[in-house]
Amino acid sequence: MTELIVVDRVDKRYATSSGPVDALRGVSLGVGAGEFCTLIGPSGCGKSTLLGMLGGLVHPDAGRIVVDGRPVEGPDPRRAATVFQDPGLFPWRTTLENIEFGLELQGVPRARRRAVAQELLAPLGLRDFAAKYPRELSGGMRQRVAIGRALAIDTPIVLMDEPFGALDEQTRLLMGEWLLDVWRRTRKTVVFVTHSLHEALALSTRVIVMTARPGRIKSVIELPLPYPRAMESSELVTLRAKLWSEIREESLRAMGET
């Protein structure tokens, strides 16, 4: 498997009012093409920072990030698209216009980008909501529009920062199933940040557990299991227990620190 994303000994420190905070220290990892790689860890472990770096929104203090053979120097909408926890839809744009946003920035002609957005509506489950504004949509729909906006620019990589974190549990489960379906059809490389054990185990080909601050990689769990996954199978129950014990340790440390 070729490594599409390479993170090489990356450090990140933030200046805060109470002194510098080490967000990431010496993080290295590789993500292969077509993987669904999940970053999980306690709050403040720097997983969102790491994802921000992959998307070019955050710059590392040390180390190097290479995506698709070239170092990351800033946001590059030809290599990676990002979905955030707050969907950040433009309230004055309809569903279609929001999905077209990235293509519009790239100067794709109107008719062409409209066609791309139209085509995405059905898989997004938004066919009847093309002309609606974000305030008229439910939370799950809004996040699907944001995912559509990311898919529209058809990058090899999609970065997702707790995309379902603000949704209720039932919507969240359904969105997970839906995303799995999309990922399996498009074969994009996904890097996914989550707090949810369930999401990590149901979706990922690999789970990366990060330590409490400063964020390092604690362990990597490979999940070469077929989809859809029966979460109550003995294999997944065992994996869940293992994953939880790893995260629990770090979460306790993170809680003790604050």
Partner 1 sequence: MTVVVLRVLIVVAVLLGWEIAGRLANPLLYVPPSAAVPALRDLLALRSYPDFPEHLLLTLREIAVAYGLAIAAGVGCGAALGLNRLVGRAYGPILAALYAVPAVVWYPSLMLFFGLDAASKIAFGFLLGFFPITLAVLAGIRQVNPQLITVARAFGASRLTVFRKVMLPAMLFTLVGGLRTGLALAVIGVIVGEVLGSKAGLGSLINHAYGLFRTADYVALVLVTLALIVACDAVASALERRAQRWTHLQ
The contact set with partner 1 (CB under 8 A) reads 55-57, 75-77, 81-82, 84, 86, 88, 90-92, 101-102, 104-106, 133-135, 149, 153
Quote the CA–CA distance of 78 and 88 in Å, as a whole number. Answer: 20
| Helix count and strand count (H, E) for the chain | 7, 10
Angle made by CA atoms 175, 137, 82, in degrees to the nearest 5: 55
Report the nearest approach of partner 1 to the CB of residue 215 (Å): 21
> What phi and psi values does residue 114 have, to the nearest 5 degrees?
-65, -40
CB of residue 237 to partner 1, shortest distance in Å = 37
Pick 159 or 210: Cβ nearer partner 1: 159
Of the pair 98, 211, the CB lying nearest partner 1 is at 98
Q: For residues 145 and 201, which CB has a smaller minimum distance to partner 1 in the complex?
A: 145
Distance from C-alpha of 135 to C-alpha of 139, rounded to nearest angstrom:
9
Cβ-proximal residues to 206 (8 Å cutoff; 6+ apart), any chain = 35, 36, 37, 38, 220, 221, 222, 223
Question: Which residues, in sequence order, are CB contacts of 118 under 8 Å at separation 6+?
Answer: 96, 130
Question: Residue 3 corresponds to which tokens in the numbers above?
Answer: 């490594």
Question: Closest separation between CB of residue 64 and partner 1, Å?
Answer: 21
Minimum gap (Å) between residue 93 Cβ and partner 1: 8
Question: 113 or 216, CB closer to partner 1?
Answer: 113
- Closest separation in Å from C-beta 84 to partner 1: 7
C-beta closer to partner 1: residue 94 or 205: 94
